[in-house]
Amino acid sequence: MSPEPLSIVDAGAALRSGESTAVGLLASVLSRAEMTESELHCYLNLDREGASRAAASADEELERGVDRGALHGIPVAVKDNMCTRGLETTCSSQILSGYLPPYDATAVARLREAGAVIIGKTNLDEFAMGSSTENSAYGPTRNPWDTERVPGGSSGGSAAAVAAGSALGALGSDTGGSIRQPASLCGIVGMKPTYGLVSRYGLVAFASSLDQIGPLTRTVTDAAVLLAAVAGHDPADATSYSGPLPDFAAGLHAGVEGLKIGVVRELNGEGYQAEVSEATGDMLNRLSAQGAEVVEVSLPMFDVALSAYYLIAPAECSANLARFDGMRYGLSIKGPTAAATMAATRAEGFGPEVIRRILLGTYALSAGYFDAFYGQAQKVRSMLQSEFEAAYRKVDVLVSPASPTTAFRLGERTQDPLAMYLSDICTIPSNLSGHPAISVPISLDSKGLPIGFQVMAPALGEQVMFRVAAEVERLAGFGALPAPALAPPTRVPL
């Protein structure tokens, strides 16, 4: 059985028309997982039992006329850095091997309340640090478009699962592009909301001022639907946005006529795969043809955004990951003293990329270096945000490639941390500013690998962002593609 993967919206319609059931949807998604998992390794943990119960309950509720909305009965996956009560949550780290959280992350709880069926926990770069999902202590995830290639990261498991049809949608987290970059590399839609829109409570923190949970889906509409289910104020997160939320799906298909679209000059040129630049330019022409005014915008701080990011994110992570010390939970390698136990546990339990970033962040915060590194990076961040805001006074959205290249080969960048870091050059600025951004697949390169297009918007500008993204999706005709096969896809869009 190889069912056609559906969008969340289509699946919801099928459920309500009686064409399918939640149990049936789950079965087809799980059978898809059975087909693909040995090759792709999207999941660290498939919760068949919990998912079956949730699906049965969703069907039973629908029969009784209880309809929890768009996600009712929909099988979704959750990145394994979000806490799930009683379900192992490892962040792909040895240090949390076997860890069973005593509570659900707020986003997970909201998925459950919305009637979603949580299939399992997806693979990621350890503690979300990486751009290829190769930094997982439990082995890498592979790209469904070419299994010799990475799915991107850190939400590579979520992106690959949605692309492969072993989930209809997934939650990821995006600190420097960890939703958008893998979405781009896997040919799906990935969106990072405005900072504070989705509660971070229960998301195992990497860099607190940058982390945001967001949706990975097959369509822009699905992204809006999934976002709506998890967004909203949470008193347990002091950085949670408490104002009114717009209807994210409203006006989605209003087109781009009359909108002003800014093309970021700094996100192009050297280091960008030619086909990526071409596809981006091509899409801009089409948007222009649809009545959008396309202008070039320069944001000079983008050139140092990556540098600032690789000081700020490691600095925050060095403190956020300090709690993993072998004293209260998780891995513990006992030494003669508490200090020795902590040091041995952490050296053993963390992988090299995590250790690298902890060292980097510790250094950037340490006496004598704080002002030159961390302090200066925060000022650059401030200037970057000002530049963004100035730009958004002139244009409605900013656009760029979502990733400078399409999916790269496993192992290609693992020996060169800096080259790996450059994978996030397009996505990092919106994390630093806290603004929303989305990646939409637009075409394939000559190797048959997906190219993603990024739409960035001002704070709480999700509506206009989705509106432009939906038009991009429509113009690209990509969302209608069937899920890619494990072998390079035979059908090329457009």
Partner 1 sequence: MPIDVDVAHVANLARLALSPEELDRYRQELGVILEHASRVQQVETSGIMPLSHPLGSGNVFRPDEPSPSLDREEVLEMAPESRDGFFVTPPALD
Partner 2 sequence: MNWAPVIGIEVHVELDTASKMFCGCRVSFGDPPNTNVCPVCLALPGSLPVPNREAIERIIRLGLALNCRINPGSVFHRKNYYYADLPKNYQISQFDIPVCVDGWLDVESDEGSFRVGIERVHMEEDTGKSVHVGEGGRIHTAAETLVDFNRAGTPLVEIVSRPDLRSAADARAYTQELRAVVAETGVSDARMERGSVRFDANVSIRPPQSQKLGVKVEIKNMNSFRSLEKAIRAEVDRQVELVEAGEKVVMETRHWDESAGITHGMRTKEGSSDYRYFTEPDLAPMVFSESWVQEARSQIPELPARRRERYRHLGLNPGSARVLAGSEPDLRGLFEDAVESGAAPVPAANWVTGDITASLRRRNACLGDVPLHGEDLAALTAMVSQGRISARAARQVLEGVMDGEGSPTRVARARNLEQISDQAALEQVVEEVMSAHSQAVERYRSGEKKVRGFLVGQVMRATSGRADPRAVNQILSTRL
Return the number of the residue (56 or 319) whose C-beta is nearest partner 1: 319
Contact 395, 297 (CB under 8 A): yes
Taking the C-alpha atoms of residue 86 and residue 104, their distance in angstroms, rounded to an integer, is 9
Would you count residue 250 as binding partner 2 (CB under 8 A)?
Answer: no
Window 162-221: residues binding partner 1 (CB under 8 A)? 194-196, 209-210
Contact (CB, 8 A) for 211 and 200: yes
Q: For the window 422-461, what string marks contact with partner 1 as x by the rule CB under 8 A?
A: ----------xxx------------------------x--
E-assigned strand segments in 243-362: 260-264, 293-297
Among 27, 304, 319, 485, binds partner 2 (CB under 8 A): 319
Is there binding between residue 97 and partner 1 (CB under 8 A)?
Answer: no
Active-site residue among 79, 318, 430, 433?
Answer: 79
Contacting partner 1 (CB under 8 A), which of 279, 342, 407, 449? 342
* C-alpha dihedral, 361 to 365 to 369 to 371, nearest 10°: 120
Using the rule CB under 8 A, is 322 a contact of partner 2?
Answer: yes
Q: Which of 66, 250, 295, 339 binds partner 2 (CB under 8 A)?
A: 339
Q: Name the active-site residue from 7, 93, 131, 154.
A: 154
- Long-range contacts (CB closer than 8 Å, 24 or more residues apart) made by 54-59: 54/22, 54/112, 54/116, 54/117, 54/118, 55/21, 55/22, 55/23, 55/25, 55/26, 55/117, 56/22, 56/23, 58/22, 58/115, 58/117, 59/21, 59/22, 59/23
Report the site for partner 2 in 61-100 (rule: CB under 8 A).
82-83, 89, 91, 96, 99
- Express the helix, strand and coil content of the chain in percent, nearest 5 each: 40, 15, 45
The answer to the question of residue 137 lying near partner 2 (CB under 8 A) is no
Instruction: Give, as one character, the DSSP assignment of residue 78.
Output: E
Give just the sign of the alpha carbon dihedral 382, 387, 393, 395: negative
Give the binding range for partner 2 (CB under 8 A) out of 5-13, 217-225, 315-323, 418-426: 315-323
Tell me which of 329, 383, 412, 493 binds partner 2, using CB under 8 A. 329
Query: Of the listed pieces 174-182, 310-318, 450-458, 461-469, which binds partner 2 according to CB under 8 A?
Result: 310-318
Q: How far is CA 357 from CA 148, 184, 205, 347, 445, in A?
A: 27, 25, 14, 13, 33
Catalytic residue flag (residue 178): yes
79 labelled catalytic: yes
User: Is residue 235 a contact point for partner 1 (CB under 8 A)?
Assistant: yes
Instruction: Please report, as ranges, the residues that interact with partner 2 according to CB under 8 A.
Output: 82-83, 89, 91, 96, 99, 101-103, 105, 200-205, 207-209, 235-239, 315-316, 318-319, 322-325, 327-329, 338-339, 342, 362, 365-367, 370, 374
Task: Please give the positions annotated as active site.
Answer: 79, 154, 178
